A and B are shown apart, each in its own frame.
Chain A
Amino acid sequence: MTLVTPTRQVPAAPKPPLGRRLARRAPWWIAVLLLAAVAVLWIYPFIWMVSASLKSSMEVFTAGLRIIPQAFAWDNYSRAWNDAGFSRYMVNTVIVTVATVAIVVVRCALCGYVLGRYRFPGSRVIIGILVATLFVPTGYTIIPVVKLSMELNLLNSLTGMVLALSGAANVSAILIYAGYFRQLPKELEEAAVVDGAGFFRVFFTIMLPLSMPVTATVALLTFLSTWNAFFLPLVFSFSSPQLRTLSVGMQAFVGENATDWSGMAAAGVVSILPIVVLFLFLQRFFVEGIAGAVKS
């Protein structure tokens, strides 16, 4: 959204003297200074983490507030990556996240498509159930999920973790898809049906490509929540440490090496960096996806 400032709207008016203009801008610059000061505090925990990950194990304790380390101790990273098993955790997290995002996008697009575009016996019931379970917390479903996975022989496996993650709480994604497909004009599929395209072809060759913006948002938000998931991965990897994801591995790491602050910080940086980089590049989609909640 581009907003036009009032001063720009009246170009014919003579420019006020420099002093007045500065005086008028002053409150904004004071606001900027304030915001900047708070912003530094805001990201300070991350700055501290990066700084600690590059200090020697001794320096972390004695450096106080000094941010720049005396000597860059890159071996913290190799210790976290190799010895503490974060390379393994990273692979697990990538596998789980990619698989979950793929399943969630496909199933939510399919479901949102038929719910948004067709009325059939039972459609209202399905929508009602989905909306009613919008806010179900993980703590509520966790015990039956574990029991069920155990019976399906999926408890100590990445497959089980992926299925549980992609089966839980993606109602919002279905609703976004339904809302999007609902407002597409009917002529689109009528033309295709005249050309002899079936249900399946209409969806895959016309509807799905049209929904790319929604798919990007859903994929990104699912990526975020899966990468950051903790409760389910924790429970699914209790008896198999080799299945830990990054978030679970971090807790295990401090449980075993409570005094290795720099190693902990390095592990934290490694775990958080991918999602932060993704955010910085695709910020627009993140923000639009979240803003969609209130725009309706």
Chain B
Amino acid sequence: MARVMTPDAPLATGRVLRSDGRKGPKVRQAVSRRQTLWIWLFLLPTVLLYGLYTLYPIVASYWYSLVEWNGFQADQRFVGIANYRAVVADPAFWSSVKITLVFMLLVAPARILLSLLLAMVLNSPRLPLRGFFRTVYFLPVVTTTAIVGVVMQFVFDPASGPVTSMLKLVGVDQGIDFLGDSGTALVTAAAVYVWKFFGITMIYWMAALQTVPNDVYEAARIDGAGAVKIFRHITLPLLMPFLLIITVLTVEDTFHAFDLMQTMTGGGPFFSTEIIEIYIYRWAFNASIPQLGFASAAAVLFGVIVMLVGVVQAWALYSGRKDRGTVR
């Protein structure tokens, strides 16, 4: 969940060696054979673990998607692209793609914009108790998603859950089955998801806001700019690059909703909250005869979708940068 990265850090690996400028090539020469041995020894644990549990699976998925394979103990039989044909012909697959994307569109804007609003309020030095509020609004992030999912089943229980009791208080007597009705389940799940991971985006925004030097605001205020003007002409332009990065991080995050969905709705009712990860899980682990080849084909297509969304965002990031370059 919490993902941390420094995108441009590793790309400049060589730079530190030549940072003193004078003896550029000499230092690189200093990587002796003995050092090379140490370097690879240091890399060994990562190469082994990451290779076995991340890289190999990515490659193996492609092979598995081309075989008929009914159970982990069963034999594999090469069938070509038959699995892909079956997946593409399955309306349930497309329904899960649609639900994954709808979920993303419900969740990402809410997380990004609402948390910006809160971060701006919490960032103001004149707000009392800001540390306390930050803790409270961040708290759901650290709790175990799978357990929150189970608890939410009870919180939204239409017979005696607390949400129903609250609604009775304001005059809604008929309990609403938020998670049990296929019309409301996805929206409810999206709301819970926003609540659960809201704090991460809020912290992103607070970090972004802290990069705006306070003198800029001071100067604007002295010049007589009001709060709205300050936001429109100072805060917003300065936050634009962050908006893109935060959008990328948040959108990628919405593809990891398995824990919450599986424990809260299990993909139901009537598959109305079945995101792709649950679809894959259902065919691979929850079927009477596991269809591992079929599920692998769905997984590969899922990977392609995640990649496509990533490419679109990278393109937006790139062209956004270019646009700003020409404006200046």
A: which residues have CB within 8 A of B? Answer: 1, 3-6, 28-29, 31-32, 35-36, 39, 42-46, 48-49, 52, 60-62, 64-65, 103, 106-108, 110-111, 113-120, 123-124, 126-127, 129-131, 133-148, 150, 163-164, 166-176, 178-179, 182-183, 186, 199-200, 203, 217, 221, 224-225, 227-228, 230-231, 235, 238, 246-248, 250-251, 254, 261, 264-265, 268, 271-272, 275-276, 278-280, 283, 286-287, 289-296
Contact = CB atoms under 8 A, between A and B. Distances in A.
A139 to B, nearest CB: 4
B15 to A, nearest CB: 8
A275 B5 contact: no
Contacts of B299: 139-140, 142-143
A164 B5 CA distance: 21
Contacts of B93: none
B188 interface: no
10 contacts: A31-B127, A49-B151, A120-B36, A133-B55, A135-B252, A182-B12, A247-B259, A276-B142, A293-B204, A296-B7
B144 interface: yes
Q: Tell me if B's interface is mostly helix, strand, loop or mixed.
A: helix
Given A35-B133, A39-B133, A175-B6, A146 B72 contact: yes
Contacts of A64: 165, 168
A179 B10 contact: yes
Interface of B: 1-17, 19-20, 28, 31, 34-36, 38-39, 42-43, 45-46, 49-50, 52-58, 60-61, 64, 72, 121, 124-129, 133-140, 142-148, 150-155, 159-160, 162, 165-166, 168-169, 195, 200, 203-204, 206-208, 210-211, 214, 218, 221, 242, 245-246, 249, 252, 255-256, 258-259, 262-263, 276-277, 280-281, 284-285, 292, 295-296, 299-300, 302-303, 306, 310
Contacts of A1: 210
Contacts of A230: 144-146, 258-259, 262-263
B65 to A, nearest CB: 9
Which of A35, A203, A278 has the most chain B CB atoms inside 10 A of its CB? A35
A296 B64 CA distance: 38
A238 B72 CA distance: 13
B54 A169 contact: yes
B6 A272 contact: no
A31 B122 CA distance: 10
